[in-house]
Amino acid sequence: MSTELPVQPIQAGSPSVSMIRSLGLVSLICGFSVAIAYQWTKPYVDENQRITTERAVRAVLPTAMQQKAFVLGASGIAPAAPDSPAESAVFVGYDGAGRIVGIAARGAARGYADLVQVMYAYQPACGCINAVKVVKMNETPGLGDKVIKDPDFLKNFEALDARPNAEGAALANPIVTVKHGTKRDAWQIDAISGATVTSKAIGRGLDQSAERLVPLIHRHIAALEAAGR
Amino acid sequence: MSPLIQEEPLTLDTFLRGIWKENPVFVTLLGTCPTLAVTNSATNAISMGLATLFVLLCSNVLVSLLRKSIPKQVRIASYIVLIASFVTVVDYAIQAISLEVYNALGAFIQLIVVNCIILGRAEAYASKQRVINTVVNSIGTGIGFTVALLCLGVVREVLGAGTLFGVPLFGERFQPWVLMVLPAGGFFVLAGWLLLIEFFKQRRERRALEQQGATVHGR
Amino acid sequence: MGDESLGFIFLNALVINNFVLAMFLGICPFLGVSAKMDTALNMGIATTFVMWISSLCAYAINLILVHLGIEFLRLISYIAVIASAVQLVEMVIKKYSPALFRALGIYLPLITTNCAVLGIAVFQTAKNYTLVQSVVYSLGAGGGFTLALVLMAGLREKLALARLPSVSQGAALTLMLAGLLSLAFMGFAGLGGSNG
């Protein structure tokens, strides 16, 4: 690109001025188009995000009539805004009478290729996770993507133990993925043979999220119930 | 403008060139990164093809419009900045249209900016030809690229997942050839297409030679 | 993701998710420069150097863009930084080793359009790596790129002496070899444990 000395034809105005002028013109056009595109598409992008999240929540809380999103803080709950940090947001599902049917939250952990993102439903009454949906993943087709369809793997999530411990500060038993066929306790996930990395990613994602959110859910359960009425 | 650069007339060839004779993927082997990466399904292939066509068209039109105002030394830098802006625009547009497609294409949307096809066309064609020629040629090249992507995408999806555009084709008992949707499959399918094209090309050349030989020797 | 160890990041970029064979970045130079071992090695090293510089600059630029809230200029600034880094490397090589400069020829400025270099910048931003993680990532990716290039060069040099069907020569052969290499590299899955 820059290895030959350009033969400069004689032109009106010095070369540097015309360079700066043309670069300036190009930058103006570019900056303008990008800024316009950004402003114009932002509402649509936010809307798409909202719809995707809502669909994922509905997948794990099929009986919910309405969903409300909250951010759980140390001191209390607050309605979630579009730019709230994803890790502290929960989506509470209420039935027609305003009772909680479940609380959905997101988890994520690194699998083989990239992050594996899940949405799971926590039932405060039994202290267990009863539904898990993989929201986004890029795992190896035919191997890692078995986690979506394999019926034995999905059975892990019918009543996955996620009770808080006595102090209410963490899970009584951390969720852990164990080798295929060695599951003994309700808080273990039986990995898919041949797709260990992805299975472990799901286990880690659920554990990290639940360790953080389950204590907070139980601490603020009264406020969350009240918000439904 | 150097008197050596001829502004060529607008012909049908200007359009068809990009699709067949100078197909960016199969003939000049440019833009192979997205060709291999996003063709694991036909839907992704078409989306990437259309996105690239959009960027190719818009950036080349601007390059052609500004071709007399951009001095030689800064031309590559200007082209790249123009291309990067339109890629950013396409990036937001795809996010707004369909989050699923956006997640499927991933980082490769932003990597359109280093797709050699666009810079190559800008440097070799748009910077020297009129706007209307550039429009036609860019659309032709973009379509050629999309066709090439579809060639790979369709093969890989049908064999590797048993579906086409997400529609299952073969029923429950089809065992997909998973290799096809893995990275290695991308390499093999592209190699397969190149082999096929080379085979037909050599056969045509051989036949032309035989015909010539027959005419010369009066057989 | 702060829970990845540096060793894992390096190994991941080097072999597990090799930039060329698994992530399809940097294919153009991979097809073009891998005919001879020397050129391949030099190209790999030059590209690794550009990746490393771009990684540092991209990290710095991202900090500034986020601070000013103008993330939509990210792509433009990244590519501008990469183009400048390549110019810099060109000048340095031209000054210190004119022979190498002539050997690399047109491929040196083409590092600007190497998807792998922009890929580093884009991925490290998407994964929210810290500065140290980004540098390790770029070195691993550059190493992986060089590894793939050198492996391919070794294979092609040997095959240059073999009798092959004429239809397969050129890019088709390289692509088939690449497919086999890619399959082989899949064996590295799970290396480094399932460290997150």
Q: Which pLDDT tens digit goes with each residue over A133-181?
A: 888 877 776 677 777 878 888 888 888 888 888 777 788 888 888 888 8
Q: Which residue has the higher pLDDT, C2 or C92?
A: C92
Is residue A177 situated within a structural domain? yes
Band (C99; pLDDT cuts 50, 70, 90): confident
Report DSSP letters for B115-137, one per residue.
-HHHHHHIIIIITTS-HHHHHHH
**Contact call for B77 and A23, based on CB within 8 A:** yes
C-alpha A28/C-alpha A36 separation (Å) is 12
Residue A132 belongs to domain spanning = 45-226
The C-alpha atoms of residue A102 and residue A57 are separated, in whole angstroms, by 10
Rg (CA), chain C: 17
Asked if the C-beta of C17 comes within 8 angstroms of chain A's C-beta atoms, the answer is yes
Chain A residues in contact with C196 (beta carbon < 8 A): 109-110, 201, 204
Does the beta-carbon distance from B66 to A25 stay under 8 Å? yes
Q: A2 vs C90: CB contact, 8 Å cut-off?
A: yes
Of all residues in chain B, the one with the smallest CA distance to A47 is B96
* Bridge pairing between strands A188-190 and A176-178: parallel
B57 or A4: which carries more pLDDT confidence? B57
Residue C193 has what pLDDT? 54
Q: Are A185 and A162 in contact (CB under 8 A)?
A: no
| B145 closest CA partner among B103, B110, B116 | B116
Tokens 């031209």 belong to C94
Gap between the Cα atoms of A117 and A135, Å rounded: 5
SS3 assignment for A193-220: CCCHHHHHHHHHHHHHHHHHHHHHHHHC
Please name the residue of chain A whose CA is at the shortest distance from the CA of residue C107: A1
By CB atoms closer than 10 A (0-12, 13-18, 19+), residue C48 is: buried
Q: Where are the domains of chain B?
A: 14-163+179-207
Q: Which residue of A has its CA nearest to B59?
A: A30
Q: What is the pLDDT along chain B (219 residues), one digit of tens a residue?
A: 444 456 777 778 888 887 888 888 888 888 888 888 888 888 889 999 999 999 999 999 989 888 888 877 778 888 888 899 999 999 999 988 888 888 888 888 888 888 888 988 888 888 888 888 889 999 999 999 999 999 999 999 888 888 888 788 887 777 888 888 888 888 999 999 999 988 888 898 899 998 888 777 655
* Chain A hits for C191, Cβ within 8 Å: none
A141 and B86 within 8 Å at the Cβ level: the answer is no
Does A8 fall in a domain? Answer: no
Q: Do residue C176 and residue B32 have CB atoms under 8 angstroms apart? A: no
- pLDDT in the model for residue A5: 53
Number of domains chain A contains: 1
What sign for the dihedral angle of Cα C133, C142, A141, A179?
negative
Per cent of chain A over pLDDT 70 is: 92
Cβ neighbours for B195, distance < 8 A, ≥ 6 positions apart:
C167, C168, C172
In a domain, A23, yes or no: no
Q: What is the spatial distance between Cα B159 and Cα B175, in angstroms, rounded to a whole number?
A: 9
C-alpha–C-alpha distance, residues B208 and B21, integer Å: 18
Q: Write the CA distances from A207 to A40, A58, A73, A203, B84, integer angstroms.
A: 39, 21, 19, 6, 40
Q: A181: which DSSP letter?
A: T
Residues of C in Cβ contact (< 8 Å) with B107: 119, 122-123, 126
